[in-house]
Amino acid sequence: MCLAVPGRVVSILEEGDSSLRRAVVDFAGVRREVSLAFTPEAKLGDYVMVHVGFALSVVDEAEAQKIFEYLSEIGEQLEPDSGEAP
Amino acid sequence: MKFVDEYRDEQAAARLAELIRRRVSRPWTVMEICGGQTHTILKSGLEDLLPPEVTLVHGPGCPVCVTPIELIDHAVSIAETPGVIFCSFGDMLRVPGSRRSLLEAKARGADVRIVYSPLDALKLAQANPARQVVFFAVGFETTAPANAMAVWQARQLGIENFSVLVAHVLVPPAIEAILNSPGCRIRGFLAPGHVCTVAGYEDYEKLSASYRVPIVVTGFEPVDILEGLLMVVTQLEEGRAEVENQYRRSVRREGNRQAQRIVREVFEVSDRAWRGIGTIPLSGLALREPYRRYDALERFPPSQAPGEESVECIAGLILQGLKKPPECSAFAVRCTPETPLGAPMVSSEGACAAYYLYGRKEVAS
Residue A79 confidence (pLDDT)? 67
Domain assignment present for A42: yes
| B347 → chain A, closest CA residue | A1
Residue B306 confidence (pLDDT)? 76
Number of domains comprising chain A: 1
Q: Which of A1, A68, A80 sits opposite B12 (nearest CB)?
A: A68
| B89 → chain A, closest CA residue | A1
- Mutant choice from B142, B234, B238, B346 vs A, greatest count of A C-beta within 10 A: B142
Q: Which of A35, A37, A60 sits opposite B249 (nearest CB)?
A: A60
| A41 → chain B, closest CA residue | B258
Domain assignment present for A39: yes
Residue A16 confidence (pLDDT)? 72
Instruction: Count other Cβ atoms within 10 Å, centred on residue B158.
Output: 6
Instruction: Confirm if B33 and B171 have CB atoms less than 8 A apart.
Output: yes
| DSSP strands (E only) in B255-302 | 267-274, 278-287
The alpha carbon of residue A58 is apart from the nearest alpha carbon of chain B, in Å, by 7
Residue A2 confidence (pLDDT)? 82
Residue B362 confidence (pLDDT)? 55
| A4 → chain B, closest CA residue | B194
The alpha carbon of residue A26 is apart from the nearest alpha carbon of chain B, in Å, by 10
| A52 → chain B, closest CA residue | B117
Contact status of A30 with chain B (Cβ, < 8 Å): no
CB contact under 8 A, B149 and A66: no
**% of chain A with per-residue pLDDT over 90:** 66
Residue B189 confidence (pLDDT)? 98
pLDDT(B361) > 90? no
Tell me the pLDDT band of A20, cut-offs 50, 70 and 90.
confident
CB contact under 8 A, A1 and B140: yes
pLDDT(B160) > 70? yes
Residue B360 confidence (pLDDT)? 62
- B252: chain A residues, CB-CB within 8 Å: 57
- B1: chain A residues, CB-CB within 8 Å: 5-6, 27-28
Tens of pLDDT, residues B95-152: 999 999 999 999 999 999 999 999 999 999 999 999 999 999 999 999 999 999 999 9
**What average pLDDT score do residues A29-36 get?**
96
| DSSP strands (E only) in B170-254 | 188-192, 215-218, 243-245
- Report angle CA A24, A30, A33 to the nearest 5 degrees: 25
| CA separation for the pair B161, A36 (Å, rounded) | 26
The alpha carbon of residue A34 is apart from the nearest alpha carbon of chain B, in Å, by 10
Tell me which amino acid residue A67 is.
Answer: I
Residue A58 confidence (pLDDT)? 98
pLDDT(A86) > 60? no
Residues 6+ apart with CB under 8 A from B155: B290, B291, B294
CB contact under 8 A, A4 and B142: yes
pTM higher than 0.90: yes
CB burial class (10 A; 0-12, 13-18, 19+) of residue B123? middle
Residues, chain B, total? 365
- Residue with the bigger pLDDT between A16 and B328: it is B328
Instruction: Confirm if B284 and B169 have CB atoms less than 8 A apart.
Output: yes
Residue B171 confidence (pLDDT)? 97
Instruction: Confirm if A5 and B219 have CB atoms less than 8 A apart.
Output: no
CB burial class (10 A; 0-12, 13-18, 19+) of residue B5? exposed
Cα B148 to Cα A28, B3, B48, B204, distances in angstroms: 29, 28, 41, 23
Tens of pLDDT, residues B161-210: 999 999 999 999 999 999 998 889 999 999 999 999 999 999 999 999 99
pLDDT(B278) > 70? yes
Domain assignment present for A85: no
pLDDT(B225) > 90? yes
pLDDT(B364) > 70? no
Tens of pLDDT, residues B21-65: 999 999 999 999 999 999 999 999 999 999 999 999 999 999 999
| CA separation for the pair B33, B12 (Å, rounded) | 23
Contact status of A19 with chain B (Cβ, < 8 Å): yes
Domain assignment present for A11: yes
CB contact under 8 A, B248 and A51: no
CB contact under 8 A, B248 and A28: no
Residues, chain A, total? 86
- B61: chain A residues, CB-CB within 8 Å: 2
Contact status of A68 with chain B (Cβ, < 8 Å): yes
- B18: chain A residues, CB-CB within 8 Å: 78, 80
pLDDT(A44) > 90? yes
> Can you tell me whether residue B88 is helix, strand or coil?
strand
Give the residue from B127, B108, B148 showing the smallest Cα distance to B256: B148
Residue B365 confidence (pLDDT)? 38
Domain assignment present for A49: yes
CB burial class (10 A; 0-12, 13-18, 19+) of residue B134? buried
Residue B285 confidence (pLDDT)? 98
Q: What CATH number is attached to the domain comprising A28?
A: 2.30.30.140
Domain assignment present for A86: no
The alpha carbon of residue A73 is apart from the nearest alpha carbon of chain B, in Å, by 11
Q: What is the DSSP letter of B5?
A: G
- Between A and B, how many CB-CB pairs are < 8 A? 131
**What average pLDDT score do residues B53-82 get?**
95
Instruction: Confirm if B154 and B162 have CB atoms less than 8 A apart.
Output: yes
- Spell out the domains of chain B, with CATH numbers in brackets: 1-312 (3.40.50.11740), 315-358 (no CATH)
Strand pairing of B267-274 and A30-35? unpaired
CB contact under 8 A, B15 and A63: no
Q: Which of A19, A35, A68 sits opposite B6 (nearest CB)?
A: A68
Tell me the pLDDT band of A81, cut-offs 50, 70 and 90.
low
Domain assignment present for A35: yes
Instruction: Determine if residue B282 is left, alpha or beta; phi over 0 gives left, psi from -120 to 50 gives alpha, anything else beta.
Output: left
Mean pLDDT score of chain B: 95
| CA separation for the pair B243, B205 (Å, rounded) | 6
pLDDT(B249) > 80? yes
pLDDT(A14) > 80? no
Q: Which domain range does residue A25 map to?
A: 5-78
- B118: chain A residues, CB-CB within 8 Å: 52-53
C-alpha torsion B105→B111→B115→B119, nearest 10: -130
Distance of CA B195 to the CA centre of its chain: 9
- A2: chain B residues, CB-CB within 8 Å: 34, 36, 61, 63, 139-140, 142-143, 192, 194-195, 349
Domain assignment present for A83: no
Instruction: Confirm if B304 and B77 have CB atoms less than 8 A apart.
Output: yes
- Residue with the bigger pLDDT between A83 and B339: it is B339
Instruction: Confirm if B176 and B170 have CB atoms less than 8 A apart.
Output: no
